[in-house]
Amino acid sequence: MATEDRAYTIGDYWLTKRRDGKSPDVWQIASYSTKSRSVVYRSTKCRDLEKAKAVLRSFEAESRSMQKQDSADAELLPHFRHYILERGPDVKRLDTIKSSFRAWIGFFQQDELTTGVRVADLNKLVIDRFRRWRMGVHEYTVHWGGKAYHNRNPNGVSGEAVQRNIEDLRAALHHAEDAGRITVPKIHSVHRNLRSAPRSRVLTAKELGAMLGYAAEDLGAYRWIALMIATASRPGPALAFDPAKQWLVDIIDLHPDGAARTDKRNAVVPVIEPLVPILEDWVRNPHEAVKSRKTWWRNMRRVLGLGDDVNPYTIRHTVATYMDDEGVPGSQLSAIAGHLPSHRGLARTTSRNYLHYNPRNCPKAKRVLTKLFRSVEDGASRWSADHLRTTPIRGHPIALTKRSDCR
């Protein structure tokens, strides 16, 4: 094909219009196939030349990224796509990782490096710019999988959220390195001084009771809250819990069925008596599982007047703190909650603690967890006896009224 027919060329690809007259207004990515000895067309789906150029740049960079490249030449963004396609089926929190990748793309859309950023460009100064951008007021729109994702954050995100974005970036780069495509530079972390202080908020039995009472009208949420209080479970495993598979009469295996048994596995915990009828009903009448209760949690927190520092992990922290205050032996506390308070002078998770833990023989932990759960149940009954939740009308928030005010 004559060079004058090439509106824009990168490497072995160029932009042109089809000679056969098909799609006369749409720019095509053309290349010469030695196998068929003919020009091969790929539509950019763009009528505007500048937009078509951007599509070609992305296509060409992605084609090169499948081969071994010097980090100074390798564009970053194609490796996000490769990670999703090649590693995605084995990743549990894939939606979270995709969100991280979109945040990086949104940043580079506004940064001096642009979305053509090279892997070698990822030095400490760039990571610092990303951190300041994410932790400040920011807004971006990223097109991903044929859909436009708009994100606006008027308050910025936490240092922990930025660190998760960095960890996801590292995962994509190390996947590319393992595939022999690039050499990964050092990716700096968020300084610990910029991350939140250790979680210190401890809920009262009255607050836990109000949460359980509020959840009574949502069976799935009620069981989720009850399970976390009774076992000190992390929110995720409690959300994914299936009693038909994980409840083994006198113990509960909080590790999701079929999940890999790594060093970060979830605990096997004793079953306390007041949880049994909840588990029995759960088996007989399973509720529809959900992946997230973020909206439910925000509504609950607003209605009950709880602060923004209260999140699902606060329940876990509260139960662990309560067990510690009640003198639960270290081996039992460490194995059930997954850590020990720092003042005990022991590592967060050590083999010597787990060696002395038997979930079927930890009477002190069972007594303490039962005492707490009974107290929370009593608080839930008192709360429910004095409060009514309004049924929300579309466009109006859930609200509470005092039963005494209705008389």
Are 296 and 223 part of one and the same domain?
yes
Residues 202, 232: Cα–Cα separation, whole Å? 13
3-state SS track over 243-260: HHHHEECCEEECCCCCCC
Residue 400 confidence (pLDDT): 60
Question: 12 in a domain, yes or no?
Answer: yes
Q: Is 241 exposed, middle or buried (0-12, 13-18, 19+ CB in 10 A)?
A: buried
pLDDT tier, 51 (very low <50, low <70, confident <90, very high otherwise):
confident
Question: 68 in a domain, yes or no?
Answer: no
Range in 62-76, 97-111, 154-168 with the lowest mean pLDDT: 62-76
Residue 112 confidence (pLDDT): 96
Range in 171-180, 329-338, 346-355, 389-398 with the lowest mean pLDDT: 346-355
Greatest alpha-carbon span in the chain: 88
Residues 13, 9: Cα–Cα separation, whole Å? 6
Question: 62 in a domain, yes or no?
Answer: no
Range in 85-94, 152-161, 186-195 with the lowest mean pLDDT: 85-94
Q: What domain range is 147 assigned to?
A: 77-194
Question: Which of the listed residues 194, 227, 247 is the one where a domain comes to its end?
Answer: 194
DSSP bridge partners of 329: none
Are 171 and 224 part of one and the same domain?
no
- CATH code where residue 264 lies: 1.10.443
Distances (CA, A) of 360 to 272, 306, 339, 363, 366: 11, 36, 19, 8, 10
Sign of CA dihedral 77, 78, 79, 85: positive
Are 359 and 256 part of one and the same domain?
yes
Q: Is 112 exposed, middle or buried (0-12, 13-18, 19+ CB in 10 A)?
A: exposed
Question: 290 in a domain, yes or no?
Answer: yes
What are the tens digits of pLDDT across the range 243-277?
999 999 999 998 776 665 554 557 889 999 999 99
Which of 53-67, 207-221, 300-314 has maximum average pLDDT?
Answer: 207-221
Q: The tokens of 167 are what?
A: 């960890």
What are the tens digits of pLDDT across the range 330-366?
878 888 876 555 444 444 444 444 446 788 888 999 9
Are 149 and 216 part of one and the same domain?
no
A 10 A CB-CB count for 365 gives: 25
Are 186 and 280 part of one and the same domain?
no
Residues 294, 311: Cα–Cα separation, whole Å? 9
3-state secondary structure of 50: helix
Residue 390 confidence (pLDDT): 58
pLDDT at 196 over 80: no
Residues 387, 397: Cα–Cα separation, whole Å? 16
Residues 109, 22: Cα–Cα separation, whole Å? 33
Distance separating the N- and C-terminal Cα atoms of the chain: 87
Are 360 and 401 part of one and the same domain?
yes
Are 251 and 363 part of one and the same domain?
yes
DSSP bridge partners of 75: 118
pLDDT at 3 over 50: no
Are 234 and 111 part of one and the same domain?
no
Number of domains in the chain: 3
Are 114 and 187 part of one and the same domain?
yes
Residues 335, 350: Cα–Cα separation, whole Å? 9
Residue 4 confidence (pLDDT): 45
Q: Where are the alpha helices (DSSP H) in 286-400?
A: 294-304, 312-325, 330-337, 351-354, 363-386
Place of tokens 């892997």: 119
Are 240 and 140 part of one and the same domain?
no
Question: 111 in a domain, yes or no?
Answer: yes
pLDDT at 107 over 80: yes
